Amino acid sequence: MPFNTQGYSMKYWKMAGLAATILLVLTFPVYLLRVAGSMANAEKVEAVYFTGRESCGECHKKEFDLWAGSHHDMAMDSATENSVLGNFNNFEFVCRGHTHRLYKKNGMFFVNTQGPDGNFSDFQVAYTFGYTPLQQYLVPFPGGRLQCLPLAWDSENNRWFHLADTMYGCNTVKPGDWLYWTGQAQNWNSMCADCHSTNIKKNFIPESNSYQTSWSEIDVSCEACHGPASAHIEWAALPEDARPGHVNAGLLVKTKELNNREQLNICVRCHSRRSVSGDFDHRHPELLEYMVPQLAIPPEYHIDGQINDEVFVYGSFVQSKMFENDVKCSDCHDVHSLKTKDNSNGLCLQCHRPDIYNSPEHHFHQLPDDGGQVFLSNRLKPDYVKGSGSQCVNCHMAGKYYMGNDYRRDHSFRVPRPDLSVRLGTPNACNDCHTDKSAAWAQTYIQKWYGIKIRGHYGETFAMARKGDPGALPLLTLYAENELFPLMIRATAVHLLAGYSDSAAVAAIEKALDDPEALVRHSAVMGYRTSNALLYEKKMLPLLNDPVKAIRAEAAIRLSQVPGQVLGKASAKALKAALEEYKNNNLYMADFPGGQFNLGILYDNTGKPGLAENAYRQSLRIDPGFAQAKVNLAMLYNRQKKNNEAEKLLLEVLAENPAMVEINYSLALLYAEMEKYDKSRYCFIKTIEAEPLNSRALYNLGLLENSLGNTETAEKHLQNALKTEPQNFDFLYAMCTFYVQHKHKEKALHYSEKLKQLFPENPAGSQLLQAARKL
């Protein structure tokens, strides 16, 4: 069996894109029928425009007064004596050995701090950003950019602090780094603007690498949630008996008589961790038309779904029993002032019986003294105060500090699970207060109070799945398919199923491609893989007509290497349109390294290597440490026979990211193609040492050893690959050809018969069986 280095190197290394060989008739899944009506209505909306808050206050004074002074009202402002909270009275702030000076000049605010080159310079503060518990400051730069200063004002303790101290720990963020304050991670236009102002249009211009960002109001005003008000004002001007009753008072966004999901969809576009692919349009409420929420996976979340990184409520709330039981944001928060309606247990006792839940028999902690202050615990103030353990939020809404001093609670409303802390290393509410005790100690009290029975938790299944444990598959499949589980958990389960090549996992993902929930379908599109090209196209092609843009676009990039002439006219047209959406989505995100990276994939897959190389280079200009852009650029160079450049990039990635063991696999393939077989073998072995179940590494090392005449070693690796995936066509084919080549008749017959049995439609099994019989 000769070792074909050309086919060997690229078949499993490059981005997926499969050749079409058959014309398929598109089917229209049930979810398309469910949403078609709402989409049609959206297209009928006449042009409306934003009118500003002044047009709202006269008729809606109560709501306007509640909003005034709220976090929405104070989300952003011009820097003036009234809006600036920080001490700019020629104040010197010393941090990490450097002295920063904050001062005023001619009624304007300035800071002397390190600039883009690392040298100290003076910068004018143009805008305030936020109000409490901290206020940040925005500095204008060429190209329409606004950058967030790393110096922030603690408005609760009246002090300056450096965000790097609280966000990056001991790491030093240097000029040129993605995270440095003049870098893209701290850029207002792309990272902050859409949630701190009204009617934001980012207007990034890739050609000049500049912005023409605009807004209708500088803060989060009435129309940010209610939509443009021009038609509403016209409706309100009509005599009361002449007002049409079917037009939602002329507003695009319905805000009355909403169920919890409808209301949450108004809030989620800002109160979520997400990727954004376009300016928000109130006419299209489907989330995945303009954004994709972050799934509940590490590092953004702990493995059991608790918040870890800054995720902004949505992903935790939709995991909760509260959400599943129709609780909505406005049950706890005033939608105009944003304040919590009650800071005591009374908030929860709106629904939960006080005689059961507001008693020591439930929480087993002391009640506060009459009239005494209730202490709401947090991780910076672990000292126990009498009564804190009796407060619902302290046990069921543990939290974490972000941005240095902003304490935010987990909205999954979970039962404390110190037992999961013991097994999974996740946090729990008990040890938030009892920091001097262990999770095992806390679990003994949980069992004493509530019994020894322990419920299973999806976090345990997810932890197994992250390790590739096949024992997780049954429950992962259950979570993915059963609509009774929380949406976020279902979508996350589909994402984790993609880590398995088992036929049951593939079947579960195939089923999820037709799920009524867009987020589940999106996870399925992102994770679906099969070695059967015809089946892949059959499953993906209908999604080019999905009602949700994010799904159409992701299906398109995965079919982008299919020649249009073999798809048929209708499919080719759908693919072209969806690829244009994918392109536009990523042009919108072209100020992010990921946007340029995705454009590079698009151009590479559609035969535009020059544009692809430029896009990958632009991605690395924005974030020089973006490893995957270097990997894909190396792949591009490999296909252009620039293997020395490819090798240099991959070695660079491995040096910068030693934990990325998969780079050894890429290097192994590259060295095999370069006929540097000793180096190839070394990198394959390093891969297998780190990932013993990496079947592709085992398989390809087996092919390499066989080509070098090391038949005994080759057989061992090929057998191990097949043990990992017993029904893999390539691995079975390799075993058959290996035994035919080396004239092991009985084994050749055994594996050839198995290949024919598992893949009866493929003639390879019959052909190899005939060859084996002739041995």
3-state secondary structure of 307: strand
Residue found under tokens 């994770």 = 527
According to the model, what pLDDT value does residue 384 have? Answer: 53
What is the reported pLDDT for 370?
A: 58
Contact 56, 64 (CB under 8 A): yes
The pLDDT value recorded for residue 565 is 67
**What is the share, in percent, of the chain residues with pLDDT greater than 90?**
81
Q: What pLDDT is attached to residue 46?
A: 54
Statement: residue 4 has pLDDT above 50: no
Q: Is the alpha carbon torsion for 297, 660, 10, 596 positive or negative?
A: positive
Q: Render 433-479 in DSSP notation, one character per residue.
A: H-TTS-HHHHHHHHHHHH-S-----HHHHHHHHHTT-GGGHHHHHHH
Give the mean pLDDT of 143-170.
91
Task: Report which residue type is found at 414.
Answer: R
Of residues 474 and 4, the one with the higher pLDDT is 474
Residue that has been written with the tokens 């160079």 in this structure: 637
- Amino acid found at 328: K
Give the list of residues 6+ apart from residue 498 with CB closer than 8 angstroms, or none.
505, 509, 523, 526, 527, 528, 529
Find all residues with CB under 8 Å of 644, minimum gap 6, and list them.
none
Burial of 197 (0-12, 13-18, 19+ CB in 10 A): buried
Q: Return the axis-axis angle of helices 549-558 and 518-527, rounded to nearest 10°.
A: 10
Q: What is the pLDDT of residue 661?
A: 87
Alpha-carbon distance of 621 to 616, in angstroms, equals: 9
Query: What pLDDT score was predicted for residue 20?
Result: 26
**Dihedral sign, Cα of residue 600, residue 605, residue 608, residue 610:** positive
The per-residue pLDDT for 532 is 81
Lowest mean pLDDT among 209-218, 409-418, 722-731: 722-731
At residue 692, φ and ψ (nearest 5 deg) are: -60, -25
Residue 28: pLDDT above 70?
no
Token look-up 């691995």 returns: 731
The pLDDT assigned to 21 comes to: 23
CA distance 237 to 252: 17
User: What is the number of helices (H) and of strands (E) in the chain?
Assistant: 38, 16
Position 167 scores a pLDDT of 76
- Per-residue pLDDT tens digits for 549-603: 999 999 999 999 887 667 888 999 999 999 999 999 999 999 999 999 999 999 9
The predicted pLDDT at position 10 comes to: 28
* Strand runs labelled E in 269-355: 274-276, 291-293
CB-CB neighbours of 100 under 10 Å = 19
Distance CA 20, CA 572 (A): 11
Give Cβ neighbours of residue 88 (< 8 Å, ≥ 6 apart). Answer: 102, 103, 104, 109, 110, 125
Q: Chain-centre distance of CA 733, in angstroms? A: 38
pLDDT of residue 265: 94
Task: Grade residue 25 by pLDDT with cuts at 50, 70 and 90.
Answer: very low
DSSP letter at 292 equals E
Per DSSP, the three-state class of 359 is coil
Per-chain mean pLDDT for the chain:
90
Segment (H or E) for 113 = strand 108-114
How does pLDDT run across 462-487, given as a tens digit for each residue?
999 999 899 999 999 999 999 999 99
Whether the CA torsion 47, 53, 58, 59 is positive or negative: it is positive
pLDDT of residue 237: 93
Buried b (16+ CB within 10 A) or exposed e, 52-66: ebebbeeebeebbeb
Contacts of 274 (CB under 8 A, 6+ apart): 291, 292, 293, 294
Q: Which two tokens stand for residue 30?
A: 């049930």
Q: What is the pLDDT of residues 305-333, one digit of tens each?
A: 999 999 999 999 999 999 999 999 999 99
Return d(Cα 739, Cα 748) in angstroms, integer. 5
Q: Residues of 598-612 as b/e, b for ≥16 C-beta within 10 angstroms?
A: bbbbbbbbeeeeeeb
Cis peptide preceding 133, ω within 30 of 0:
yes
pLDDT tens-place string over residues 606-618: 999 999 999 999 9
Q: What percent of the chain has pLDDT over 70?
A: 91
Per-residue model confidence as pLDDT tens digits over 91-124: 999 998 899 999 999 999 999 999 999 999 999 9
204, 211 Cβ separation under 8 angstroms: yes
Three-state DSSP at 484 gives coil
Residues 6 and 128: their CA atoms lie apart, in Å, by 57
Q: Between vectors from CA 627 to CA 623 and to CA 633, what angle results, nearest 5°?
A: 95
Residue 30 has pLDDT above 90, yes or no: no
Residue 96: the pLDDT is 85
Q: Judge whether residue 376 has pLDDT over 60.
A: no
For 550, the 3-state DSSP assignment is: helix
**Percentage helix, strand, coil for the chain under 3-state DSSP, each rounded to 5:** 50, 10, 40
pLDDT at 363: 93
Q: Residue 545 has what DSSP assignment?
A: G
Specify the pLDDT at position 35.
Answer: 35
pLDDT in tens, 503-558: 899 999 999 999 999 999 999 999 999 878 888 999 999 999 999 999 999 999 99
> Is the pTM here over 0.85, yes or no?
yes
Average pLDDT value for residue range 640-648:
97
In the DSSP assignment, the letter for residue 137 is: E
For 102, list phi and psi in degrees, rounded to 5.
-115, 125
Distances (CA, A) of 175 to 123, 184, 391, 719, 732: 16, 11, 45, 51, 52
Cβ–Cβ under 8 Å, residues 376 and 391: yes
pLDDT of residue 379: 47
What size, in residues, is the chain? 775
Task: Give the confidence band of 245 by pLDDT, cuts at 50, 70, 90.
Answer: confident
Q: What is the Rg, in whole angstroms, of the alpha carbon atoms belonging to the chain?
A: 29
